[in-house]
Amino acid sequence: MAGETSGDNLAAGLIRSLRARRPELQFEGVAGPAMVAEGCQAWAHSEVLAVMGLFEVIPHLARMVRLRREVVRRSVACSPRLFIGVDAPSFNLGLAAQLHARGIPTVQYVSPQVWAWRQGRVRSMARTLDLVLCLLPFEKPFYEGRGLAAEFVGHPLADRLPLIADQAAARRALGLPAQGEVVAILPGSRRGEVTRLARDFIGAAKRLAAQRPGIRFLAPMANAAAREIFAATLTEIGGVCIDLVDGHSSQVLTAADCVLVASGTATLETMLCKRPMVVAYRLGAATAWIIQRLMRAPFFSQPNLLAGRAVVPELFQQAVTPDALAQAVSRWLDDPALRTETENTFTRLHEQLRQGASDRAAEAVLALLDRSAGQ
């Protein structure tokens, strides 16, 4: 069961690796287009799970509950040998609990950020999950120290993207001049986050365009919904040219000198493309108030969490303004030595995450499957 684009891609890679080892395996569940292309039968589209925040989910709660009931009903009917939840923890962990109670082994692929806030959730996870597949290296010892089996598998993006980012080649492919400043803008993939960030991101671009003649902006859109919201906001605000690109995010990131990005998987992709970034994170007011009081981690962006220090600037809630974003981008553009140092840091982190993630995840899943069959 996968939520949104990043989960769909992770699950598709896992299905591919599992099928290479056990061609007879069949897959069904909440799926996106990448999973369907790998042969997964879709009970519902993964986009239905792309809801972010504690209170923001309330308008969708009835639909989520109906979907979970339907998934449980279908799962009981087909008697699966294993359940794998991919990301979307608010949906998948509750589902895992119901299926585990029916004797179905359960796996969560992508750790929820329990190490960052609400660490008490690990106790219930340990009762209802047989295995957590971790993308980040510090997550495995966190879980194992609390009695939950975990495996660090690395990240498929780190396997797919090259260690050396070829900016010149990326610019040629996109028809961009070899010289001149380019800023990539990634406002997110979920409707809510794009709506909350688009206005400030576009405002920052306007300020940068006024201060830095000749600067260019490219915004790779994660999906049609994100494009619709961002394009409408861009038309409403006006006064700045931002080229919207459908997909091709890695190519756009590699071509850029700096990136303005919503917190999430896109920060990891930006890091793997070796580009300095300014990270913005905005939630609904009530959700943000709670998270600020429960947060244990010192950072929320993946590059900073992996490095264990503030490599890139993070702006949260009210701090996300056009002026603050533009100033932070300008600091990167004005300091080539710092950009080079950051690129070197990102290369080291890339090497750490390049583990053959889909294959490692498949081996861990099959080991659990075989143990369960032998009981």
Strand ranges, E, within the chain: 28-31, 41-45, 83-86, 106-109, 131-134, 150-152, 182-186, 216-221, 243-246, 258-262, 277-281, 314-316
pLDDT confidence of residue 70: 85
Same domain, 199 and 315: yes
**Comparing 54-63, 116-125, 153-162, 264-273, which segment has the lowest mean pLDDT?**
54-63
Same domain, 249 and 187: yes
Same domain, 247 and 365: no
Residue with tokens 């533009």: 326
> With bands split at pLDDT 50, 70 and 90, how would you rate the model's confidence at 293?
low
Q: Which of 167, 172, 181, 130 is nearest to 151 (CA)?
A: 130
- Higher-pLDDT residue of 251 and 71 is 251
Paired with 278 in beta bridges are 260
Same domain, 314 and 304: yes
Average pLDDT over residues 92-103: 92
pLDDT confidence of residue 87: 87
Domain count of the fold of the chain: 2
Q: How many CB atoms lie within 10 A of CB 96?
A: 25
* CA pair distance 246, 254, nearest whole angstrom: 16
pLDDT confidence of residue 296: 60
117 pLDDT above the threshold of 70? no
pLDDT over 90 percentage in the chain: 68
pLDDT confidence of residue 55: 42
* CA pair distance 302, 291, nearest whole angstrom: 17
pLDDT confidence of residue 53: 47
* CA pair distance 213, 181, nearest whole angstrom: 9
Same domain, 123 and 189: no
Q: Name the amino acid, one letter, at 226.
A: A
Same domain, 132 and 220: no
Q: What is the CATH number of the domain that holds 114?
A: 3.40.50.2000
| Domain boundaries, position 271 | 160-353
pLDDT confidence of residue 82: 94
Same domain, 188 and 134: no
Same domain, 53 and 69: yes
Q: DSSP string of 289-335?
A: HHHHHH--SS--SHHHHHHTS--S-EEEGGG--HHHHHHHHHHHHT-
**Comparing 106-115, 177-186, 282-291, 311-320, which segment has the lowest mean pLDDT?**
282-291
- Higher-pLDDT residue of 52 and 192 is 192
Same domain, 261 and 251: yes
Backbone angles phi, psi at 3, to 5 degrees: -115, 135
Angle (CA) 228 276 325, round 5°: 55
Residue 42 DSSP one-character state: E
Same domain, 206 and 343: yes
Structure tokens at 238: 């006006």
Structure tokens at 244: 């919207």
Task: Please say whether the beta carbons of 122 and 146 come within 8 A.
Answer: yes
Same domain, 130 and 172: no
> With bands split at pLDDT 50, 70 and 90, how would you rate the model's confidence at 354?
very high
Task: Please say whether the beta carbons of 194 and 188 come within 8 A.
Answer: yes
pLDDT digits (tens, 9 = 90+) for 22-48: 999 999 988 889 999 999 999 887 665
Average pLDDT over residues 225-236: 96
pLDDT confidence of residue 217: 98
* CA pair distance 24, 314, nearest whole angstrom: 46
Average pLDDT over residues 315-323: 91
Residues in the chain: 375
Collect all residues with Cβ–Cβ distance below 8 Å to 268 and sequence separation of at least 6. Answer: 155, 157, 302, 303
Could you tell me the pTM of the whole model?
Answer: 0.81
Structure tokens at 47: 């986009």
Same domain, 311 and 181: yes
Average pLDDT over residues 62-90: 84
pLDDT digits (tens, 9 = 90+) for 257-284: 999 999 888 999 999 999 999 999 887 6
> With bands split at pLDDT 50, 70 and 90, how would you rate the model's confidence at 365?
very high
